[in-house]
């Protein structure tokens, strides 16, 4: 397959995985996004400039996730590899459970889609399959691709996802701490086996959560209870459980965002409850942390790729 463009601009949102009980299955796009411009060049070189998150730490070579995913996507459709000039404006916090690695992978796949002559060859379904090879599970990649809220699963045929209905009145807010936590470390403390009663508990709450998102916000507090991962991870992110307890005591449906340590809140009229975007002075010191908030009101679209 040939390339049909030499420049593409990609926007891809942050995501929250799990949403509490939907471990490795449910996810939602959030109102903060990375923007990446990719230019295909005749040389074999890779040049990367980065603003914002990761500017001092991310690689500037073929090992960068955007480059790796882009090349994987080009190989998948049989397109020629080219030199790349990439400029990334990273706004998604890293190491905070907001899907920054999934966003980078989806950005690379979306950039490839924007460059090739037949973008339908990298459909959402194909993009999810490629992204899951990198991520290992599709719960963050799915909302990054489809937008809104999604449920994702894997079977013998690969990764799959479908959008969920979310009522217009339901909003999200994410409280982001200063501290970071790698997903690998967060997953390492999870047990291989869990009690049957805890698995059954989560199945019921996840089903209730899907119904609550569709238009029963009064059920969100009960629907976001869970027993499979948050309490096991408490030992590696002490601030998150303190914040979750603080918020749930006020009747707010708070959970760990993805692998943490950020905290996601699902509800209505969240700005009036102190969860507007920006610093959160009321939260200072909760869990011995400083927190800032990202408040999202409307449905967030998935990744987009445009040719200027």
Point out the annotated binding site: 93-103
25 touches 108 (CB < 8 A): no
Neighbours of 242 (CB within 10 A): 17
Give strand pairing partners of 278. 293
Neighbours of 115 (CB within 10 A): 28
Strands (E) in 79-121, as ranges, are 83-90
The three-state DSSP-derived secondary structure of 113-162 is HHHECCHHHHCHHHHHHHHHHHHCCCCCHHHHHHECEEEEEEECCEEEEE
The Cα–Cα gap between 31 and 36 comes to 16
Whole-Å CA distances, 115 to 50, 108, 224: 21, 11, 40
Whole-Å CA distances, 52 to 57, 66, 206, 264: 11, 16, 35, 22
Give the orientation angle of helix 100-115 with respect to helix 65-77, to 10 degrees. Answer: 40
* First-residue to last-residue Cα distance in the chain: 21
Query: Annotated binding residues for ATP, as ranges?
Result: 93-103
């Amino acid at each position: 397959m040939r390339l049909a463009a030499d420049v593409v601009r990609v926007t891809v949102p942050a995501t929250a995985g799990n949403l509490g009980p939907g471990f490795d299955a449910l996810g939602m796009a959030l109102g903060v996004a990375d923007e990446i411009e990719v230019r295909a060049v005749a040389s074999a070189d890779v040049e990367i400039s980065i603003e914002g998150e990761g500017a001092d730490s991310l690689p500037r070579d073929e090992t960068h996730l955007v480059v790796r995913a882009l090349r994987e996507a080009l190989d998948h459709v049989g397109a020629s590899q080219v030199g790349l000039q990439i400029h990334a404006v990273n706004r998604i916090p890293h190491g905070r459970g907001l899907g920054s690695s999934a966003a980078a992978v989806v950005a690379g796949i979306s950039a490839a889609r924007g460059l090739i002559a037949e973008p339908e060859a990298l459909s959402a379904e194909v993009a999810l399959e490629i992204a899951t090879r990198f991520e290992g599970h599709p719960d963050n990649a799915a909302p990054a691709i489809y937008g809104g809220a999604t449920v994702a699963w894997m079977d013998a045929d690969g990764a799959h996802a479908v959008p969920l209905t979310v009522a217009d009145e339901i909003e999200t807010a994410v409280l982001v701490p200063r501290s970071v936590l790698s997903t690998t470390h967060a997953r390492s403390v999870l047990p291989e086996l869990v009690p049957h009663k805890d698995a059954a508990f989560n199945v019921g709450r996840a089903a209730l959560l899907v119904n609550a998102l569709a238009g029963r916000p009064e059920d969100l507090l009960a629907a976001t209870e869970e027993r499979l991962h948050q309490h096991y991870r408490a030992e590696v992110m002490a601030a998150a459980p303190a914040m979750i307890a603080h918020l749930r005591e006020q009747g707010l449906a708070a959970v760990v965002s993805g692998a943490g340590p950020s905290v996601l809140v699902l509800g209505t009229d969240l700005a009036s409850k102190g969860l507007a975007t920006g610093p959160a002075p009321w939260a200072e010191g909760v869990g011995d942390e400083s927190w800032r908030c990202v408040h999202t009101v409307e449905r967030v679209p998935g990744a987009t790729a445009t040719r200027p």
